[in-house]
Amino acid sequence: MTDHRRAVQPEVPRPPVRAQLDPQRTRRYRLFSAAVLLIGVGVTAAVLFGHVDHPQPEQLLIAGPLLAVGFLLSEQLSIDFDVRQISWTISFAEIPLVLGLVTVPFEVVLAAYLVAGLGVQISRHKMRHLSYHAGIMCLEVAIPYAVFYLLTNDFAAMPVWAAAALGVLTSPLVSTALGLGAMHVLGGELRMPSAARLGLRSLVVCLMNVTVGLVAYVLVNNAPWGWLLAGLLAASMVALYRAYSGLLREQRDLETLSDVSLNVARSGQDVMNKASVLTNVLPPEDPADWQAIVERIRDQLNAKRVVLHLKMDSVDEVRRLVAGVPLPDGSDVDRDDPILQLAGNHVRYFKLSDAADDVQEALRRRGVYEVLVVPLRGASQPLGAMEVHDRLSRWRGFGSADVRLLRTLSSHLATAMDNRRLVGRLRHHAYHDPLTGLLNRTGFREVAGDPVRGDESCVVMRIDLDVMSGVADALGYAWGDRMVLAASRRLRDALGGEVPLARLEGGSFAALLVDRTHEQAQEIGEKLRAGLSMPYPVDKLTIEASALIGYVANTAEDGDDTLDVDTLLQRADVAVQAAHSGSDPVRGYAPSMGQIFLRRFQLVTQFRSALETGQVTVHYQPKIALPSRQVVGVEALVRWRHPEFGPLDPDEFVPAVEATGLVDALTSFVMDQGLQRVRSWLDRGLRMSAAVNLSVRNLADANFPDLVAEALRRYDVPPQLLTFELTESGVMSDPERALPVLRRLHAMGVTLAVDDFGTGYSSLAYLRQLPVDEVKIDKSFVLGMGTDLSDMAVVRAIVELGHSLGLTVVAEGVEEDSAREQLVSMGCDVAQGYLISRPLSEERFEAWLRARTIRARGLRDETVLTLVS
């Protein structure tokens, strides 16, 4: 039958909507319980006085106790389930009820039922609602007897077993109706389809129990050895019910495990949503979330009380949450409490009757007879402990199933808590720089997104330390990290804790300034640069550092309301690059800066296509020997006529190409064009060389000499007619890699020349070590010879130095006859400049040769071209 006497469990603390915080519902339930008791007593009195069948003494002494035992056994074999947080019970009570109905008078069954039922309720500490339970019990016995008497007296033809069956079937209908009424009074409404299914389920179980009871009665009365068959039938029913009860309990246990894990995950998700990216710690746990979890565990274990000792995110704080009957006064526990002195992860069981003295004292302080306690341990730290006090529903106390469930619950709970904290740490690492603790690029984008998209005027500032690579190379990355950490502290102290500050990479930082104008941003940038430029004490050294700062604002006057954080960071980076190339170390972004870098980006991305489509060509500037004026060679110079930008200055696109991997393609292109011209001149009997400029990247490529050798073989050009011009800075930047490449080229017979000599940081010692054949005097000295005696002295010194080292000296930038005459008097070997010719395209250079030179036979019977005055 369906026993709704346990539909209300006052010992269970309810959630706020159903707690004792609602006194009106409490009063309504008390009135409802009193009404149920009065109705039950009234119906019982009516049945007692409405029939004349009185019990015999042997019935009271034998049948009464047997029925009481039957009712007690049916309670112990009950099946519990929940409907909307209300506990319902299905038991075997219909079997002893129908047996009593057909064998003994009403008073005997009622007395046995009340003794057994109220005794169970008292043992389960449900004293507060005995009136409700007593009224239900009276009705569950009185109404079936009333129906039975009515059917057997007025319908004499109806068999006794049929009247008994119909009478007992009214019991679950009455108890279900009253249980739904109690649920309504307490605010736990149940929809009509669910209520109908619940009543139907109770009726079906009741019918099965009645059938079993009547079959057993018939077998015992009419069949030989019928009592044995009835016993087998009863044993089969008990086994069936216990199996079903076990499956139902396992289902409820799994649901509880799922609910606990989901609630912890949901709580963690709420904490994640509330967490600020700016902070290094998560917000504190919400005790209300954990209270619901503890309530769920207590309901499933049917315990008097569950106490959760939860260690929050802070190191020392331990919060105690209680579900069920409140703890007695003076029951506070400390770290030395013997019940909480746990080792390992297994469940401990303590009982007042056989525990140690200190444990007995701890149990008395808690006001309990038995307790299950289990630690909550994470992967790296303890998370707390959980205590379960006094099981309510069974006389035998906690069993092995409860221990298994608690062990699994604690494992799931600890794992879910550990995972939540792990997710919190991963979230922090995802948005913060591990070295400085500042935001990283992702975190900065997250924090700055809303202010940038909103109506606020924001300034994104980028700060670059410009000595970081030097510190890391000289002292190691550890000392570079220390310098970054020191710089981040200076920035944080200068900006304050409320300003979003991020480390983007290396020594680059970004800050978001809200409600700041351009003028204020300039002032803040100057302040930050002054703080960052103060000396850094590093490993007993004092490093003089400096910083470059660029900033950009998304103010309304910018006329662009579609800016995002990435765009602002990119523009701030453009401003920093402008500060690198300019004299002002703090620069605000201007649209013209963006156009410059956009143009540079376009040139780099379009260069390879320009090589393939013929936009890039090679021009040739002749070189003549002094004083004979014979044309000895040319310098091959790259030119680019862009379809959109027109003719481009090599100083604009060559550095951009050198900064990328395209410089190898550029050098190969110019070299191939130059060798092709040399081959055509050789075919015409002219022996003239071609000079090609080399990049730093070419000198760092160990395979470059092999590419040169292959090109010389392909065009069948003697190595002496190919000259590579290299700058002093290009060699001195990485001499360990450049010198082996130069020695291989020199061994092949290729002529090597030092370009722009006198302007770099070269030393004479390095010049002696370089395997070079020529030095080219920088044109700045040649152009100043006519007006500056110091420039003339420098040129004279370079000529004498080159000749002393056995080198050919080439002067570039010759634009006047007087300069040429002075170079002749100094003994300079070769001249190059606008006086002779500007760089010319292939066709125009051939025309220049025809117009400005004459052919003659040289000393070695070769054809030479001599420049006509």
Look at 15-29, 734-748, 769-783, 854-868 and tell me which has the smallest mean pLDDT: 15-29
Query: What's the pLDDT score for residue 832?
Result: 94
Q: Band of the pLDDT at 799, cuts 50, 70, 90?
A: very high
Identify the pLDDT of residue 161. 78
Q: Name every residue whose Cβ is closer than 8 Å to that of residue 845 and which is 6 or more positions away in sequence.
A: 619, 620, 622, 634, 837
Q: Which residues of 363-398 are buried (b: 16+ CB within 10 A; e: fewer)?
A: bebbbbbbbbbbbbbbeeeebbbbbbbbbbbeeeeb
Mean pLDDT over the full length of the chain: 78
pLDDT at 826: 92
Please list the residues that pair with 323 across neighbouring strands.
Answer: 306
708 neighbors 750 (Cβ within 8 angstroms): yes
**Alpha-carbon distance 223 to 232, whole Å?**
14
Q: Is the pLDDT of residue 77 over 90?
A: no
> What pLDDT, on the 0 to 100 scale, is given for residue 119?
76
What does residue 320 show for φ and ψ, rounded to 5 degrees? -110, 125
Residue 394 pLDDT level (bands cut at 50, 70, 90): very low
Average pLDDT over residues 371-377: 86
Question: Does residue 765 have a pLDDT over 90?
Answer: no
More confident call, 87 vs 731? 731
DSSP 3-state assignment of 436?
Answer: coil
Does residue 845 have a pLDDT over 90? yes
State pLDDT tens for residues 578-590: 887 777 888 888 8
**Residue 396 C-beta-side C-alpha neighbours within 13 Å:** 7
Determine the Cα–Cα distance for residues 338 and 364; give it in Å rounded to an integer.
13
487 — pLDDT class (breaks 50, 70, 90): confident
Cα 270 from chain centre:
15
- Considering the chain, what percentage of its residues have pLDDT values greater than 70? 76
* Res 14: pLDDT: 33
Q: Mean pLDDT over residues 673-694, rounded?
A: 92
Query: Of the spans 239-248, 465-474, 518-527, 713-722, which averages the highest pLDDT?
Result: 713-722
Q: Does 266 have pLDDT greater than 90?
A: no
3-state helix, strand, coil in the chain (%, to 5): 55, 20, 25
The pLDDT value given to residue 198: 67
Instruction: Supply the pLDDT for residue 705.
Output: 93
Angle separating helix axes 226-274 and 400-431, nearest 10 degrees: 20
Poorest-pLDDT segment among 130-134, 280-284, 397-401:
280-284
Mean pLDDT of 422-431: 79
Percent of the chain with pLDDT strictly greater than 90: 14
Query: How confident is residue 58, by pLDDT bands cut at 50, 70 and 90?
Result: low
Residue among 166, 147, 187, 59 nearest 111 (CA): 59
Give the pLDDT of residue 8.
34
Q: How confident is the model at residue 750 (pLDDT cuts 50, 70, 90)?
A: very high
Cis before 627? omega within 30:
yes
Question: Averaged over 714-734, what is the pLDDT?
Answer: 84
Other residues' Cβ atoms within 10 Å of the Cβ of residue 353 = 8
**Tens-place pLDDT, residues 616-636:** 999 999 999 998 889 999 999
Overall pTM > 0.75: no
Q: Is the pLDDT of residue 470 over 70?
A: no
pLDDT at 18: 33
What is the model's pLDDT at position 21? 39
Tens of pLDDT, residues 230-247 = 777 777 776 777 676 666
Query: What pLDDT score was predicted for residue 869?
Result: 61
Structure tokens belonging to residue 533: 């430029």
Task: Pick 248 or 72 by higher pLDDT.
Answer: 72
Residue 45 clears pLDDT 50, i.e. is over it: yes
CA dist., res. 461 & res. 551, Å (int): 4
pLDDT tens readout for residues 633-660: 999 999 999 888 888 888 878 887 877 7
Average pLDDT over residues 810-832: 91
**Selection from 50, 167, 55 nearest residue 101 by Cα:** 167
Q: Is the pLDDT confidence value at 745 over 60? A: yes
Residue 88 confidence (pLDDT): 56
- E-strand stretches of 84-224: 86-90
Q: What is the rounded distance in angstroms from the CA atom of residue 709 to the CA atom of residue 699?
A: 15
Burial 460-483 (b: 16+ CB within 10 A, else e): bbbbbbbbbeebbeebeeebbebb
The answer to whether 379 and 419 are in contact (CB under 8 A) is no
- Between CA 308 and CA 320 the distance in angstroms is 6
Choose among 168, 156, 163, 245: nearest CA to 209. 168
* For range 398-420, the mean pLDDT: 79
**pLDDT score for 267:** 57
Q: Strand locations in 531-630, DSSP E?
A: 536-538, 541-543, 547-553, 586-588, 616-625
Residue 316: pLDDT above 70? no
Find the mean pLDDT for residues 549-560. 68
Average pLDDT for 464-478: 62
Q: State the pLDDT at residue 605.
A: 77
pLDDT at 669: 92
Range 294-303 average pLDDT: 78
User: Given pLDDT bands bounded at 50, 70 and 90, which one contains residue 764?
Assistant: low
CA separation for the pair 506, 488 (Å, rounded): 11
In this structure, what token pair is assigned to residue 534?
Answer: 């103060």
Q: What is the pLDDT of residues 138-150, one digit of tens each?
A: 888 888 888 888 8
